[in-house]
Structure formats: C-alpha cells, structure tokens
Structure 1
Amino acid sequence: MPNPRLAGRYAKSLVDLATEKGQLEVVYKDMQYLQAVCKSSREFVNLLRSPIIKADKKTAIIEAVTKGNVSELTNAFFKLLVNKGREYDLPEIADTFIDQYYALNNISKVKLTTAVAISDEVKNAIAAKVKADQGLQNVDLETVVDESLIGGFTLEFNNRLLDASVLRDLNDIKKQFSVNLFESRLK
C-alpha cells in the first residue's frame, strides 16, 4: 500500500543529505535511473514488495541492478531502506524525490500527448510557449503518443488540462446529438 507521507519524509531526508554533501544533481540522476528501472521492470518492483524474499537477497539484487549506475550515497540510502524494512516504498520515494527536486529548482512538469510523434523543434516551441504564457521558469516536457486522440493534442501542467484533440471534439458532437433539443418541438 503506497504511503505518501513516509515517501515524502525519506525523500526530504535524502534531498537534505544530498544538498549538504553537494551531490544533489548526482542523486537526482540516480533517482531518475531508479524510476526508469521501476517503470520498465514490474519484476523488480514485485521483488521490492515481496515479503518472502529476505533482506540480504534484496540488498544483493538492488546492488546488482544499480551497480555502476548510482552513487555511493544513493547506494547507502538503498541499504538503509532495506535494513529498515522500507524497500517496499522505494519506487514511491524515488518519485517523491524527483517532485521535491523539481519544486526546489522551480521546474514544472508538462505532459504533452499527441496522436503522432512530433519533432524536437515542435517540442521546444511548445515548451517555450508554455513557459512564456504561464510565467514558468523551467519546464520538463514529457511527450506521449496516444493514437486514440486521432489528431490534435492534450497538454497537462500544474493540475490543468488543455484538450485540443479531435477525440474531444467528436465526443462533444456525440453529446450534442444524444440530447436532441428539437424533438420536443416537433410534437
């Protein structure tokens, strides 16, 4: 069961320690790597959350997966989590760490969903437009391709959704046809 309060506390502690040691950027890259591993490998997440696998085996597997890809500070943090029995929350701690890093550096997450892949030039133009229109300092633009949109795009940022997709237009038209305003006047 996810525990956002616990994840926030561990992430905050790691942010503070990394800042104190002057390794915030390094640990941020490590957490991005861990987040990518967790997203791409359901087996790894299941291993972390398994009550059957012993702590020493989990530590060995985490070290094998992250060897050469994370710093000593991050590796020590992983060992601490396993020793405390908190490895279950490691994926959520990584996500929360990245969110706190973004808040610390005034970076806003922006998610752009399109029906087809777009060029880097268009991505940069959209990021610049969002920064200018919304007064944001830094933007982390994530792009996703979803063919069900048919055309157009959706843009998510700061708990807002801008939906300029063909699918939305078609759904709006469908709603208009489902409520026939003229039927009652014909009788």
Structure 2
Amino acid sequence: MMPNPRLAARYAKSILDLSIEKGELEEVYKDMLLLQDTFRSSHELVNLLRSPIIKADKKGKILDAIFAAKISSLTRAFITLLLNKEREGNLPEIAVAFVQQYKDYKGISVVKLTTAVPVSDDIKQALLQKLRTERQLQQIELDTDVRQELIGGFILEIGDQRIDTSVAFELNNIRKQFQNNDFIYKIR
C-alpha cells in the first residue's frame, strides 16, 4: 500500500473536527503524537498495518494490545473505523497529518535549527525572541538538531523557508564557483 497524503489529510481533518466538537482535541493530539512516535520507531508495525496478508481483525488486536490503555476512546473508535474501511495502512500518515493540522489550527509555527555543535538555552531563547518580534510568530515549537558536518554556522528552517549559513554550505558554493569558472580551468 502506497502512502496517500490526500486521503491522510481528509481523515486527519475529520478526526480533528470531531475532537474539537467533542472537546477532546488535546487528548486526541497526545494520542496522535504517541502514534506518530511509535510508527517512526517501529517500521515493523507500519509494515504490518500495510500488509494485505494480515487480516484487519488481527491488526486491530495488535493495535489494541499496544495502545488500548494509552489512547482515548475517541482515538480507539477512529482506529476501528479505519480498520472497518480497510484504511489502517494509512494510519501513520494520518497521525502525521493530524499533528500538522493541529499545529495549524493552534497557530503553532515549527522552526528547526540545525547547528554543528549544541546550542545553549540562552541562544535558543534569544532566537525565539527574535522570531517573535521580527516574524510575528507567537507560538513557536523549536526543534534542534546537531550535525557536525556543517562545520560551523547554522541552518534555520521556518515553514518552507530555509536559511543556510553553515560553513559547509559556503565551502560548497566556493567549490561550485571554481568549477564554473572557465578562466581557472584554462590556467591548469
């Protein structure tokens, strides 16, 4: 079964709307975070859900064994609906789509900061303050990552915008300039 982002978005929207209507948005959000994290860490479970060989009732029992005590009754009912409609293979994408739609609904901006070395809490707070004032972002979820191959500098991703000030990026630009400069090649 191939991932279907449009289908995932529709199902995510339906559970988002229902959870808002029932006043259970925060509970369902926590459930979807749990599902998302579980699917990211267990490719075997994702493969099991997408397997055409394993029957839906068996998949339901496995999901119940894993999640029954950890998720709300609304989320359990939603998973049962997916099983009945034979859409359980889309559950990993639905969880991701739900989390994104939740953040959009709540006005939460996701910002990713990638650096060559870990950044201090003071730098994180200064960055958050700057984003609040210059970008008018009020609720910010800051994800940080360390990649030593950047050598220095940082990469900042805000939505679909990317600001790359890493040393590795600059070195790559210099290398490209040398490769594209015919004069330098003729000297050799």
- Fold conserved (TM > 0.5)? yes
Seen in structure 2, the aligned counterparts of structure 1 residues 116 and 185 have a Cα distance that, compared at 3 Å, is closer
The aligned runs of 1:104-143 (5 Å cut-off) are 104-143=105-144
Distance in structure 2 (CA, Å) of the matches to 1:84 and 1:181 = 61
Query: Which residue number corresponds to residue 95 of structure 1?
Result: 96
Aligned to 2:32: 31
Q: Which residue of 1 aligns with 2:69?
A: 68
Q: CA deviation at 1:83?
A: 1.2
1:108 match: secondary structure:
strand
User: How far apart in 1 are the matches of 2:29 and 2:159?
Assistant: 21
| Change in CA separation of 1:180 and 1:59 when aligned onto 2, cut-off 3 Å | same
User: Shift of the alpha carbon at 1:84?
Assistant: 0.8
Counterpart Cα distance in 2 of 1:143 and 1:184: 41
Distance in 2 of aligned mates of 1:44 and 1:122 = 38
Residue segments in structure 2 that go unaligned for 5+ positions in a row: none
Counterpart of 1:6 in structure 2 is 7
Q: Is the 2:178–2:184 Cα contact (8 Å) retained in structure 1? A: no
Give the deviation of 1:120 after TM superposition. Answer: 3.1
**1:185 deviation in Å?**
9.1
Where 1:110 maps in the other structure, the secondary structure is strand
Q: Percent identity, please.
A: 54
Pair 1:120–1:46, CA change in 2 (3 A): farther
C-alpha distance 44-119 of structure 1, shift in aligned 2 (>3 A): farther
- For the aligned residue pairs, the C-alpha RMSD in angstroms reads 1.7
The letter for the 1-side match of 2:150 is L
Q: Residue by residue, what CA displacement relative to the aligned partner does 1:45-94 show, whole Å, maximum 9, x if unpaired?
A: 11111111111110011111213221111111111111110011101111
Distance 1:181 1:55 in 2: 63
Q: What stretches of structure 1 move > 3 A for 4+ residues in a row? A: 179-186
Shift of 1:30: 0.6
Distance 1:134 1:61, change over 3 A: same
* TM norm structure 1: 0.92
The alignment of Structure 1 onto Structure 2 pairs a total of residues equal to: 186
Distance in structure 2 (CA, Å) of the matches to 1:183 and 1:21: 68
**Unaligned segments of structure 1, at least 5 residues:** none
The CA deviation at 1:183 is 4.3
Distance (Å, rounded) in 1 between the aligned partners of 2:108 and 2:118? 24
Cα distance in 1 between the residues matched to 2:61 and 2:46: 15
